[in-house]
Amino acid sequence: MTGRRSGRASRTRRRKQENSLQSASLCHLPQYVKLMKFLHRRGFSSALLQPAVFSDTGRGLQTLRAIKPGEVLISLPESCLLTTSTVLDSYLGEYIKSWKPRLSPLLVLCVFLMCERHRGEASDWFPYIHLLPAAYTCPVYFSDDVMAALPSCLRRRGLEQREAVQEMFSSNQEFFRSLQPVLNRPTEDVLTYEALRWSWCSVNTRSVFMSRPSSSFLSGPDRYALAPFLDLLNHRADVQVKAGFNAATRCYEIRSVGGTLRYQQAFINYGCHDNQRLLLEYGFVCSRNPHSVVYVDADLLREVLKADRSLDQKIKFLRENSFLQNLTLSGDGPSWRLMTALRLLSLPQTLYHQWKSVLLGQTLCEEKERWSFQTAKVLCQRLLRDTFTALDKISNLLHECEQPIREQLDVVRSLRQEERCILGRCLEVLEESLKETDELLPCRPDADAVS
Give a three-class secondary structure readout of 149-202. CCCHHHHHHHHHHHHHHHHHHHHCHHHHHHCHHHCCCCHHHHCCHHHHHHHHHH
Q: Which amino acid is at 288?
A: R
Name the burial class of residue 136, with classes exposed (0-12), middle (13-18) and buried (19+) by CB atoms within 10 angstroms of its CB: buried
Each residue's pLDDT tens digit, 3-60: 334 455 554 555 555 554 689 999 999 999 999 999 999 999 999 999 999 998 999 9
Q: Which residues pair with 23 in a beta bridge?
A: 54
CA distances from 275 to 226, 282, 288, 368, 416 (A): 23, 10, 9, 32, 10
d(CA 356, CA 317): 9
Beta strands 58-63 and 328-330 are unpaired
Q: What topology does CATH give the domain 294-440?
A: set domain protein methyltransferase, domain 2 (3.90.1420)
Closest CA to 299 of 415, 382, 388, 421: 382
For CATH 3.90.1410.10, the residue range(s) in the chain are 82-226
For CATH 3.90.1420, the residue range(s) in the chain are 294-440
CA distances from 183 to 97, 114, 118, 192, 226 (A): 18, 11, 8, 13, 23
Each residue's pLDDT tens digit, 270-318: 999 999 999 999 999 998 899 999 999 999 999 999 999 999 999 999 9
Whether the Cβ atoms of residue 143 and residue 408 lie closer than 8 Å to each other: yes
Q: What topology does CATH give the domain 82-226?
A: set domain protein methyltransferase, domain 1 (3.90.1410)
Q: Is residue 112 helix, strand or coil?
A: helix
Q: According to the model, what pLDDT value does residue 419 have?
A: 97
CA distances from 245 to 64, 208, 242, 249 (A): 24, 10, 10, 9
Dihedral angle sign, alpha carbons of residues 204, 143, 159, 148:
negative
Per-10-residue mean pLDDT of the chain, 451 residues long, equals 45 52 91 97 95 94 96 97 98 98 98 98 97 97 97 97 98 98 97 98 97 93 97 95 96 96 96 96 94 96 95 96 96 96 93 90 89 97 98 95 92 97 97 82 47 47
Predicted model pTM: 0.90
Q: According to the model, what pLDDT value does residue 315 have?
A: 96
